[in-house]
Structure 1
Amino acid sequence: MALKLVFTEYFDITETKMEQHGALNICLNADLPLFIDPFLLFASDKKEYKIQHDKIVNHLISLKEIAKNDGDNANLSLFKFPEIKQNWLGLCKYGNNGKGLGVKFAKDIISAFNGFYSNFGSETVSDTSHIEKLTLVGSGVGKDFISDFSTNLMFEFLLEYTESFAKKYLKPHQIKTFSVRCVYDEDLMVWKPREFELPFFFLEENGDFILLTPMDILTKDEAFICHNDLVGNFRNVANSIGNYSLRESVNAYFQKTLPVLPKKKDIELAVSKTINQYPEILDYYIRKKELEKDKSKKISSEKLDQLKNELIKTLGDFTKIILEESEFFNTRPTSYDESLKRANYLKDVIENNDGYRVFYHKGKAIASEDTVQRIFRLTWYATPFDVNAEVNNGRGPADYKISHGSGDSTIVEFKLAKSTSLKKNLENQTVIYKKASKSINDIKVILCYTKFEIGKVNRILKKIDQEGAENIVIIDASPKVSASVAG
């Protein structure tokens, strides 16, 4: 059975074609942790991107007018936006179903437009308005809003972008016509459908369409304009204020609010209080970021390259090594036996089939716990078992819960040996999850990058009387010397 985990594999095309179109080679098994950053639209030299940025901002300004005019009586449906799952970007480690922007977001943003952000769209310090502004202080509007809202407003553009790729590079049987609601009628205030010829899951019955996204508008983690960056650079922002009187007032107020030996939380509180006293600071911060727009493209490119090396390439390389043909797709023992077998299978691939190589880039160890978790999920391709990632059983999220019916479940936890909390986690974590979920089995998988880390783990296991335990799988991902070199 061939594993077709990424777009190029599924559609049997070269990565060069994706690169020529500028599109991200998405994973079709789980979301990639990437997001659209609207500041990259603003910072781009491409006219079509600038048009999209203006479209996003103008729609938000129109919503602000509705919020101010109608207040609590505003039509909430106008302020709700579903997650567009077909782009396969977001936080889901398996699948692509997210929450989107629902009722809570609608109420929060209506409140924000009638409060702290009532001047949105009428700024004079910055070149233009930026939707990221709404996430800079505690308005209840979270950073997830940036990508979800932007994707919804760019939906028609992304569909056109994907359609042009499909018509140029894909075969007729790989394309299907879909009617998609993506065109906003400003007079009727409704979203209207439009037809597109799009790539789809042609190997599946009633397969959904797939949406491609340009790489140069994507970022990993934080947007270029964000709360953490504002807090971290607050003194520089304050000192950049051209108005002497305002600059002195801001610095004096901020300094007065800080304790003698401030901790991180003290600084965050002082920043928040100062912004509430002098809200125009946000516009000076945004103006400072506008002047650094060339830096935004470089940072985004570096983050994307990092993710491509650490995750996308790792997933592809791993499947090429051994998962393309696997006996595990046909086995059906208990959840514990199956989970243990697959954990040991992962260990064998990494230790004995050069699988360790995918965890290194230019000699540097790159895989995080998240990377190993995603790779482990691939070993459950086409399985009858229910595999839930980060299931919350009342005591915080476990990495995986594998189950087959209500009476057969196993929890699998992944850790890096270098973790400073490894001993504590080995002693307590899975036990807590078991009690909360009534799971009868548990397995711990520990990835070691050096012989020293292997020794550290063995010492910990000996100390807690778990040495040689069947359900603790230690994976040696240290670089191996080939037989020819050793000889």
Structure 2
Amino acid sequence: MASFKILFSDYFNIDKSVLDLYGALNLCLSSDLPLFVDPFLLFASKKQEYKLLHKNIVEHLVILKNIAVENGTTAGKNNLFKFREIKQNWLGMSKYGNEGKGLGAKFAKNVVEAFNGFYNSFGNEVITEESHIEKLTILNSGVGKDFISDFTTNLILEYLLSYTEEFALKYLEPNQIKEFNIRCVFDEKLKVWLPKKFKLPFFYLEGNGDFIILTPIDILTKDDSIINNNEFFSNFKSVANSIDNHSLRESINQYFRSQLPKKPKKDDVNYAIKKTSLLFPEIIDYYIRLKEENKEAATKLSKEKIQEILDELIDSLTPLCDYLLKHSDFYSIVPTNSYDESLKRVMFLKSVIEDNDGYRIFYNDGKAISKEDTIQRIFRLTWYATPFDVNAEVNNGRGPADYKVSFGGEDSTIVEFKLGKSSSLTRNLENQTNIYKKASKSANDIKVILCYTEGDIKSVNRALTRLNLLNQENIVIIDAAPKRSASTVKGQKKHTILPFNNLPLAKMTKS
């Protein structure tokens, strides 16, 4: 049976340490990792090539600002304001595959309006050490984290391609490399993007596969960028009080207080913050300056976040997949229908976790990884090499469902994951999947509930009893609590994993 090759190192038959020494992220080639290139890490780095990249990004944004100011709202139709998602770096929020939306007409409209309004002074800052593109996200709700990620990656694409080419030529076999002609060089005089040829790793086992881009791990972050809207709003008062200009500080605080009702709610506070920032835009620069002054701490925190996601996803998922491959026929089953197939895989995952020490993948240094995202990604990997269509985070107008598994237009099943300790579990069990089913016209649904403690299990069972859902086949509780070693339990047999088709299911066809 072929090896399960979801990591870059496995796919190209190289040792993981080679990537570590080169400084590149070991990509997951089955789904995006929830990581992002953060331009602040380029600014904060001691590497001169990173500092130059940050400078080039700002200069390009100034070019766009000048075009926006010169042409007004019509500039939004200019393709220079639109950027495709660079899917070949396998970074982002897609739980399956690497397809994304990129930055299209909506982004172009928002950024042109920003440059002709509040952000007209971009590139001429005097309070901060440098200009930062993240400034565009602080008050502009239409320009967010996706902008930072996609824009930055597009503007440093030539560097990333060169970085990847250097690795490929040094460490990969000739048959694993192919030449690609990629638009990545901006001609400032002509104002066009020009192509350049690179020899890159590609999906050689699939024949005429797409290329792959490696990313240095020290420019990646998780969740929000280091300079971000949420933190600015949360720390507004402390930022205002840190301003060394006494007159400005007092004016900001006085105006902010004047915008608040007697008993302000969160929305009232946020409204007052925005109003104050529009009147005193310097406060945004003071917030950014605080980030600049504490760049070493921000860089350290980013590294910790990256290690966390690698521990949770890479180091946890791959052993499970290898285990399934070596000890079962899990990846070579004969297709039936979407409901049976989904239930089989959920039950097999339950067996691995409960009976074969698979629970360990949900713990890091003895602490539970309390995130639905982890089990969602693990479930997607159980559909490796399947003829079924498995779409993650399907949104059909009623909010996203975790997965929709389908085989043709008339056969589909919604699969949703929840933590047993979730405060919204009861409400979710009662309403949410029925809404998804109606929107998707799906006849079937499966709920998977991950529990870390006996208390979680009892709580879930009480909720199911109240809703008359106890012992329903399509509601599967997985006990991820740590288990005692079988050898330490008197008279207890050591668990062995059951063949996939012999799992102890109540029944395999939904009534």
Q: TM-score, normalised by structure 2?
A: 0.93
Alignment match of 1:90 (pick from 86, 89, 92):
92
Render the CA deviation track for 1:332-380: whole Å, top value 9, x for unaligned. Answer: 1111111111110110111112111111011100151111111111111
**Secondary structure, aligned partner of 2:270:** helix
Alignment match of 1:257 (pick from 237, 259, 276):
259
- Structure 2 counterpart of 1:22, one-letter code: G
Within 5 Å, which residues of 2 pair with 1:69-218?
A: 69-74=70-75, 76-138=78-140, 140-218=142-220
Q: After TM superposition, give the deviation of residue 247 of structure 1 in Å.
A: 0.8
Is 1:448 the counterpart of 2:459 in the alignment? no
Within 5 Å, which residues of 2 pair with 1:16-55?
A: 16-55=17-56
For residue 469 of structure 1, what is the aligned residue in structure 2?
472
Within 5 Å, which residues of 2 pair with 1:48-447?
A: 48-74=49-75, 76-138=78-140, 140-324=142-326, 326-447=329-450
**Secondary structure, aligned partner of 1:399:** strand
**Secondary structure, aligned partner of 1:342:** helix
**Secondary structure, aligned partner of 2:377:** helix
Query: Quick one: distance in 2 between partners of 1:393 and 1:69?
Result: 40
- Structure 2 counterpart of 1:116, one-letter code: F
Q: Could you tell me whether the CA contact under 8 Å between 1:198 and 1:209 is conserved in 2? A: yes
- Structure 2 counterpart of 1:188, one-letter code: L
Q: After TM superposition, give the deviation of residue 173 of structure 1 in Å.
A: 1.2
Q: After TM superposition, give the deviation of residue 327 of structure 1 in Å.
A: 3.5
Query: Quick one: distance in 2 between partners of 1:360 and 1:186?
Result: 50
Q: Let me know the Cα RMSD of the aligned residues.
A: 1.3
**Secondary structure, aligned partner of 1:182:** strand
- Structure 2 counterpart of 1:393, one-letter code: N
Q: Could you tell me whether the CA contact under 8 Å between 1:31 and 1:91 is conserved in 2? A: yes
**Secondary structure, aligned partner of 1:390:** strand
Query: Quick one: distance in 1 between partners of 2:280 and 2:417?
Result: 46
Render the CA deviation track for 1:3-38: whole Å, top value 9, x for unaligned. Answer: 211111111111111110111111101111111110
Query: Quick one: distance in 2 between partners of 1:328 and 1:199?
Result: 26
- Structure 1 counterpart of 2:325, one-letter code: L
For residue 6 of structure 1, what is the aligned residue in structure 2?
7
Query: Quick one: distance in 2 between partners of 1:86 and 1:144?
Result: 16
Render the CA deviation track for 1:396-452: whole Å, top value 9, x for unaligned. Answer: 111111111121111111111010111111121111212222211111111111111
**Secondary structure, aligned partner of 2:446:** strand
- Structure 1 counterpart of 2:59, one-letter code: N
Q: Give unmatched runs, 5+ long, in structure 1.
A: none
- Residues 464-473 or 79-88, more deviating: 464-473
Query: Quick one: distance in 2 between partners of 1:101 and 1:460?
Result: 43
Query: Quick one: distance in 2 between partners of 1:368 and 1:466?
Result: 24
Query: Quick one: distance in 2 between partners of 1:105 and 1:453?
Result: 43
Q: After TM superposition, give the deviation of residue 328 of structure 1 in Å.
A: 4.1
Q: Could you tell me whether the CA contact under 8 Å between 2:321 and 2:382 is conserved in 1? A: no
Q: TM-score, normalised by structure 1?
A: 0.98
**Secondary structure, aligned partner of 2:71:** helix
- Structure 1 counterpart of 2:373, one-letter code: D
Query: Quick one: distance in 1 between partners of 2:66 and 2:288?
Result: 22
- Residues 318-327 or 28-37, more deviating: 318-327
- Structure 2 counterpart of 1:400, one-letter code: Y
Query: Quick one: distance in 1 between partners of 2:247 and 2:110?
Result: 33
Q: After TM superposition, give the deviation of residue 138 of structure 1 in Å.
A: 2.5
- Structure 2 counterpart of 1:3, one-letter code: F
- Report the number of matched residues: 487
Q: After TM superposition, give the deviation of residue 252 of structure 1 in Å.
A: 0.7
Query: Quick one: distance in 2 between partners of 1:433 and 1:111?
Result: 36
Query: Quick one: distance in 2 between partners of 1:326 and 1:89?
Result: 30
Q: Could you tell me whether the CA contact under 8 Å between 1:394 and 1:437 is conserved in 2? A: no
Q: Could you tell me whether the CA contact under 8 Å between 1:94 and 1:389 is conserved in 2? A: yes
- Structure 1 counterpart of 2:65, one-letter code: K
Q: After TM superposition, give the deviation of residue 148 of structure 1 in Å.
A: 0.7
How much identity, in percent, do the aligned residues show? 62
**Secondary structure, aligned partner of 1:388:** strand
Query: Quick one: distance in 2 between partners of 1:229 and 1:108?
Result: 21
Q: After TM superposition, give the deviation of residue 237 of structure 1 in Å.
A: 1.0
Query: Quick one: distance in 1 between partners of 2:158 and 2:439?
Result: 45
- Residues 48-57 or 376-385, more deviating: 376-385
Query: Quick one: distance in 1 between partners of 2:462 and 2:246?
Result: 61
- Structure 2 counterpart of 1:437, one-letter code: S
- Structure 2 counterpart of 1:217, one-letter code: I
Render the CA deviation track for 1:100-156: whole Å, top value 9, x for unaligned. Answer: 111111121111111100000001111110000001002632221111111011000
Q: After TM superposition, give the deviation of residue 77 of structure 1 in Å.
A: 0.7
